[in-house]
A and B are shown apart, each in its own frame.
Chain A
Amino acid sequence: MISFTNVSKVYGPESAALDEVSLEIPTGDFVSIVGQSGAGKSTLLKLLSAEEAASTGEIIIDGWDITNIRRWQIPHLRRQIGVVFQDFKLLQKRTVLENVAFAMEVGGAPTKEIRDTVPHILKLVNLLDKAESYPTEMSGGEKQRVAIARALAYKPQILLADEPTGNLDALHSWDIVQLLIKINKLGTTVLLATHNDDIVNALKKRVVTISQGKVVSDQQDGTYKL
């Protein structure tokens, strides 16, 4: 369970990127966060991964109050939260396999565990045959699948996807969304920030709409409407 209670985030002195947001997301949910560019979607996700700190309010993940998380605790939090971005953030000079293994190495996983786990994850995202390829040799959709594989390396409870289809064509976008649904079905809570109305409408899942930092609608089986 993720809960936001009256959370605000102000970057500059005047505008509030998030304004008194309250939201509850049960474990295992699939939530689309929609809204125009600048609405505050990324900010919402960044608060969860502790890339940004809330200005006011309270954020609790599975009973853990991360509102004022200490710096040394952030790595622990991030190992429970997978993140995926529009620009993939892959290491260009490393193979697909190495990119995924890197995340596990950094977390101190034993070499044997890495060797056993990575092929499973690559299989899950359907990239086992590309294990030795480099990101530069791959399509955008494939790169995003590598990024998702990496995010899954820790078996996170939560997956944050910030515009994961932003750089992809319709076909590849749909491909990625299918993958996110599959991951959600395996038990991971998924938060998908997007402004792609086709995808949101086809998903038929919970939709939270944000506008100018405020939650303006929150619907099960929602649609994209602005």
Chain B
Amino acid sequence: MSTLGISFARITRTAFVNFWRNIWLSVATMVIMIITLLMISFLYFANVFGSEVLQTIEQKVDLSVTFKEDVQDQYITTIADELKLRDDIADVRVISSDRALEIFRARHADDPLIEESLQELEDNPLPANLFIVATDPQHYANIAKHLEAEKYSPFIDQVDFENTETERVVEKLIAYTTSVKNGALVVTGLFSLLVVLIMFNTLRLAIYSFREEIDIMRLVGASRWFVQGPFIIEAILVALVAVVISSAISFATLRAISPTLSTYFFDVQQSPFSIYDYAVTNIESVIGLQVVLAVGLAGISSLVAVRRYLRN
């Protein structure tokens, strides 16, 4: 083994000795680190889930345009094609009055009364409709305004939001995800600070409990890396174990609650969004994010601690 290899092995061994010597402090630090990582994971997943729910609901909102009774199909198609060219419109669906009647009939197939009354009418009483899906729910107001223009008035009878209830939900959800994102930043910041403070103090105590060894190390010419390395490696080990435990907890939890969440928030018949599947698919980034954060915090606190308490 090279000298560097030997040193590294010895430094790592000392890091473990440090860990055991202050086992309760080490555990306390680790617990705080785990709580922080869990908070951050929770916020991360809440954000992903929120956006997913939002998207699903957004897709349900549309603008419905009811045409006047005698408007011919060709005008409707022209208007639809024109609208499709707009940047803020994702999709335009045309339901001709014939199609509307079909749907109406299908929906009331087991109601003989309605069938009878329909047959009594000579003309199709149902107007043609357009359903517009915007690229972003914010655009609906603008689109609706556009449709109120003079040139459309001979054809269009009415423009409605398909479901104003849904619209309000969307607004709430947007507000909710924004505050989750802001909250995530604040909480992450606060807990990170807490982790740094606690780690820093743990290391200070560890350095204190090792002062005899450290004194002698210096006396016999230990390199700076040999004196400081164990504390830095100890902090990083604590961080890595915390990541493992926090990931185990969050994955187990997601797995347990994911089916309930999916049935509650998404339509069952379509393939519903599963937050657990999302986590599994993105496992590298989920764990990578935690590793970067945990090791980063551990690195900062241990570097500051050794710089401060192990000068010379």
Chain B residue at smallest Cβ distance from A110? B6
Given A89-B216, A91-B213, A111–B221 Cβ distance below 8 Å? Answer: no
Residues of B within 8 A of A150 (CB): 220
Chain B residues positioned under 8 Å from A151 (CB to CB): 220
Q: Tell me the chain A residues, 97-139 only, with Cβ under 8 Å from chain B.
A: 102-103, 105-111
Docked-complex contact B221 and A108, CB < 8 angstroms: no
A153: Cβ under 8 A from any B Cβ: yes
B219 on the A face (CB < 8 A): yes
Q: Are the CB atoms of A108 and B219 closer together than 8 Å? A: no
Chain B residue with the shortest CB-CB distance to A103: B220
In the complex, residue of chain A having the shortest beta-carbon distance to the beta carbon of B219: A83
A108 and B224 CA atoms in complex are apart in Å by 12
Q: Is B191 an interface residue (CB 8 A)?
A: no
CB pair B222–A89 under 8 Å, yes or no, is: no
**Interface flag for B248 (CB, 8 Å):** no
Residues in A whose Cβ lies below 8 Å from that of B269: none
Separation of A92 and B224 alpha carbons in the complex (Å) = 23
Q: Which residue of B lies closest to A92 (CB)?
A: B212
Across the two chains, which residue of chain B brings its CB closest to A99?
B216
Residue in contact with A91 in the complex, picked from B1, B6, B216, B224, CB distance below 8 Å: B216
Contact A78 B221 (CB under 8 A): yes
CB distance from A160 to the nearest CB of B (A): 10
Contact with A along B71-112 (1 / 0, CB 8 A): 000000000000000000000000000000000000000000
**Chain B 203-244 residues near chain A, CB threshold 8 A:** 212-213, 215-224, 226
User: Can you name the residue of chain B whose Cβ is closest to the Cβ of A84?
Assistant: B219
B250 to chain A, nearest CB (A): 40
Cross-chain contact A75 with B1 (CB below 8 angstroms): no
C-alpha spacing A76/B10, complex, angstroms: 19
Decide: A108 and B7 in contact? CB cutoff 8 A. yes
A76 to B224: give the CA distance in the assembly, Å: 11
Q: Is the CB of B222 within 8 A of A75?
A: yes
**Chain B residue with the shortest CB-CB distance to A109:** B6
A79 at interface by CB-CB < 8 Å = yes
Nearest opposing residue in chain A for B4, CB measure: A108
B224: chain A residues within 8 A (beta carbon): 71-72, 75
| Closest Cβ–Cβ distance, residue A149 to chain B (whole Å) | 12
CA distance A31 to B312 in the complex (A): 28
Partner of A103, one of B7, B212, B216: B216
Contact of B222 among A71, A83, A92, A106 (CB under 8 A): A106
Q: Mark A8-26, 1 if CB is under 8 A from B, else 0.
A: 0000000000000000000
Asked if residues B220 and A111 are in contact (CB atoms below 8 Å), the reply is: no
Please tell me if the beta carbons of B223 and A75 are within 8 angstroms of each other in the complex.
Answer: yes
CB distance from A127 to the nearest CB of B (A): 18
With both chains docked as a complex, state the minimum distance between the C-beta of B229 and any C-beta of chain A, in angstroms: 11
A106 and B1 contact, CB distance less than 8 A: no
Expressed in whole angstroms, the Cα–Cα distance for A111 and B220 within the complex equals: 17
| Cα(A154)–Cα(B216), bound, Å | 14
Knowing that A75-B224, A106-B226 touch, tell me 14 more A-B residue pairs with CB under 8 angstroms.
Answer: A71-B312, A74-B312, A78-B219, A91-B213, A102-B213, A105-B10, A106-B221, A107-B221, A108-B3, A108-B10, A108-B226, A110-B1, A110-B6, A154-B221
Which A residues form the contact surface with B (CB < 8 A)? 49, 71-72, 74-79, 83, 89, 91-92, 102-103, 105-111, 150-151, 153-154
24 A-B pairs (CB sep. < 8 Å):
A49-B219, A71-B224, A72-B224, A74-B221, A78-B220, A78-B221, A89-B215, A89-B219, A91-B212, A91-B216, A102-B216, A102-B220, A103-B216, A103-B220, A105-B10, A106-B10, A106-B222, A106-B226, A108-B3, A108-B223, A108-B226, A109-B6, A111-B6, A154-B221
What 8 pairs across the A-B complex have the smallest Cβ distances? A78-B221, A79-B221, A106-B222, A103-B220, A75-B221, A108-B3, A75-B223, A108-B7
